[in-house]
Amino acid sequence: MNQKTIPDNIVKLLSRVRLAAQKSQRSAEDICIVAASKTRSSDTIRAAHQSGLCDFGENYLQEALDKIEDLADLNLCWHFIGPIQSNKTRPIAEHFNWVHSVERAKIARRLSDQRPPELGPLQILLQVNISGEASKSGALPEELPGLVEEVMGLPHITLRGLMAIPAATNDESQKTQPFARMRQLLREMQVIAPEMDSLSMGMSNDLEAAIAQGTTFVRVGTDIFGPRDG
């Protein structure tokens, strides 16, 4: 991984996002790039921030807490995007701005209970297992209405939307369908919870398809930082 390529990578990424937004008559400002920075060092994150990124997504709690502390001098917005064990909710509630990977009401309740009220509500997204893969995290689409009803009234979180990681494919024609389904699911959930206004979907190899289906967050690792070493 070569830190010198980060500024160029970010310039290219911003133009991809701008072009994709234009094609769907959307404003690029409505699409937030979350740099998926798992396994990357604090210095690497600093380099990405110098090139204009402010939002970082982390998957592993201890690694994330170390970086949040190292980088406390920057005004970064931290997103938790990895699987959540219920005994790890407190530090997540205390140190993050957004959580994209909530899949059970129990986790949402703990995050709400443990969120320090002076920080304001934690912004959360419900992760959906949109490709129905047995091995994947996320609530099934049919579980969503019940989950939304349980989560929407909790006092110290704000339910903002849905997140998904569809099954990987290199077939362009297969990329759109799961994202279109997510857009439809968000519309259905907005009937129950009108404050839901966000979608987190699209990564390095499918962000154009996600932007065309209305995503508000793309989570990008490889195309900013290069391949992960393992």
Ligand X SMILES: *Cc1c(COP(=O)(O)O)cnc(C)c1O
* Residue 201 near ligand X by CB under 6 A: no
Looking only at residues 42 through 81 of this chain, which bind ligand X when binding is defined by CB under 6 A? Answer: 59, 81
DSSP codes of every residue in 8-47 = HHHHHHHHHHHHHHHHTT--GGG-EEEEE-TT--HHHHHH
Residue 178 binds ligand X (CB under 6 A) = no
Query: Do 105 and 116 meet the contact criterion of CB atoms below 8 Å apart?
Result: no
Terminal alpha carbon distance of the chain: 11
User: Which of 63/150 has CB closer to ligand X?
Assistant: 63
Q: Which of 165, 182, 189, 193 binds ligand X (CB under 6 A)?
A: 165
Report the DSSP beta bridge partners of residue 56. 35, 78
- Least CB distance to ligand X at residue 175 (A): 13
What is the smallest separation between the CB atom of 36 and ligand X, expressed in angstroms?
A: 4
Residue 115 near ligand X by CB under 6 A:
no
**Residue placing its CB nearer to ligand X in the complex, 81 or 108:** 81
Q: Which tokens in the block code for residue 6?
A: 């980060």
d(CA 148, CA 5): 41
The residues that touch ligand X, with contacts defined as CB under 6 A, are 36, 38, 59, 81, 165, 203-204, 219-223
